Amino acid sequence: MTDLAVETDGLCRSFGELEAVRSANLRVEAGQFFGFLGPNGAGKSTTIKMLTGLLEPTAGRIRILGLDLVSNPVDVKSQIGVVPEGLALFDRLTGPEYLIFAGRMYGLDRVTAAERAQELLDFMGLADRAKSLIVDYSHGMKKKLAMAAAVIHGPKVLFLDEPFEGVDAIAAGTLKAMLNRMIARGATIFLTSHVLEIVERLCSHVAIIDRGELVAQGSIDELRSGVSARHADGQKLSLEQIFLEIVGGERAAVPELSWLE
């Protein structure tokens, strides 16, 4: 039996009458680079918040690395890293101060935290801005710092909500290099992204959520063969085509705009 890094059973979350996530059964194996896709408002961020303990599920069970999240929140949190939607930075600290703080929150001693902070700042190209407050960083720099804080304790599972959004090509390259290193040393990465080309290049497995419902899950090849079987024209479909097919081709069809014709 393969070890599961992330496992949910009947995961639900409602906001009043809105069912943001409906009975999701996710399976992410340890060591996978897992992409979690969906249109805007489909429930991606809600799911990732529930998986990281930032949001209470209305119903269902979450197990991370075999541990129940509700009954062992601290044990689970110590083994995961998170880059949430708003980055969750203390922006009146400097980059090094924040990284050391994050390291110590995850149980590193102060010296180790400082050593790793220095390494991460060098790796992310942020060392030259060590004296600046985070509030003065650019968006890309903040993203890199949030990523550095999420990995400083060497998590076994890393949850990233839109890690490449608003990041330039150079910064994105740095982030991808770091994620690939983590995968190489056996970590599991769970990311949401709208940039399907990046997901296709990085991830081995994906799940697609649409209007709160998990509509597909598996390796990209599995999803491709499932969709190709419906078309049977022999063409190798891109992840974007698979995604559009699964979330509803009729919604993907672009209507005409009279004044642009």
Partner 1 sequence: MAGMTLVPGKQEQLRLVGWLRWRLLVNGLRTGRGKADLVAKIIAGVIIGTGALGLGPLLGFGSWYAISSGKRFILPGELWFVFLIWLLVPILISGFGAESDPASLLRFPLRYSTFVLLAFAHGILDPVAVAALYWLLAMLAGIAVASPSALLWAIPVLAAFALLNLLLNRTIFAWLSRWLAQRRTREIMGALLILLMFSFQLVWPLSARYGKRALPLATRLASASRLLPPGMAASAITAGHASRAGSALADFAGLLACSGVLGWLLSIRLRAEYRGENLSEARQETSAGRSTVRAGWNVAGLSPTVAALFEKDLRYLIRNSTAYLTLLTPVFVVIVLSLGHGGPHGRQLSFIRSSSVFFPLSVGYVMLTVVGLVYNSLGYDGSGLPMLLAAPIRFRDVLVAKNLLHTLVVVAEVLTVSVVGWFVVGPTPPLVLGLTLAGTLFVLLTNLAAGNLVSLYFPRKLNFGQMRRQQASGMAVAASLGTQVLLAALVTGMYLLSRWTGHLAWCGVAFLVLAGAAWVAYRHMLGLASNIALKRREVLMAELSRPG
* Distance of alpha carbon 51 from alpha carbon 76, whole angstroms: 10
Give the nearest distance from C-beta 255 to partner 1 in angstroms. 17
Q: Which is nearer to partner 1, 157 or 237 (CB)?
A: 157
Q: Which of 117, 145, 206, 208 binds partner 1 (CB under 8 A)?
A: 117
Q: Which of 59, 138, 165, 222 binds partner 1 (CB under 8 A)?
A: 138
Strands 59-64 and 67-68, sheet pairing: antiparallel
Q: Which residues of 181-200 are buried (b: 16+ CB within 10 A; e: fewer)?
A: ebbeeebbbbbbbebbebbb
3-state secondary structure of 106: coil
Please give the residues from 143 up to 182 whose contact with partner 1 meets the rule CB under 8 A.
149
Site for partner 1 contains 192 (CB under 8 A): no
Give the nearest distance from C-beta 220 to partner 1 in angstroms. 29
Q: Which stretch binds partner 1 (CB under 8 A): 2-10, 32-40, 137-145, 237-245?
A: 137-145
Q: Which stretch binds partner 1 (CB under 8 A): 102-110, 187-195, 219-227, 248-256?
A: 102-110
Distant-in-sequence, close-in-space partners of 121: CB < 8 Å, separation ≥ 6: 95, 96, 99, 127, 130, 148
* Distance of alpha carbon 137 from alpha carbon 122, whole angstroms: 16
Q: Which of 109, 165, 168, 221 binds partner 1 (CB under 8 A)?
A: 109
Please give the residues from 68 up to 87 whose contact with partner 1 meets the rule CB under 8 A.
73-78, 82, 84, 86-87
C-alpha 34 chain-centroid distance: 8
Check: CB of residue 44 under 8 Å from CB of residue 67. no
Q: Which is nearer to partner 1, 97 or 240 (CB)?
A: 97
Q: Which of 11, 113, 209, 246 binds partner 1 (CB under 8 A)?
A: 113
Q: Which of 105, 172, 215, 227 binds partner 1 (CB under 8 A)?
A: 105
Please give the residues from 36 up to 65 whose contact with partner 1 meets the rule CB under 8 A.
52-56
Rounded-to-10 torsion of CA 112, 116, 117, 118: 110
Size of the site for partner 1 (CB under 8 A): 57
Q: How far apart are the first and last CA of the chain?
A: 57
DSSP string, 193-228: -S-HHHHHHH-SEEEEEETTEEEEEEEHHHHHHHHH
Site for partner 1 contains 227 (CB under 8 A): no
- Judged by the rule CB under 8 A, the positions of this chain that interact with partner 1 are 52-56, 73-78, 82, 84, 86-93, 96-97, 99-102, 104-107, 109-111, 113-115, 117-118, 121, 127-133, 135-138, 141, 149, 258-261
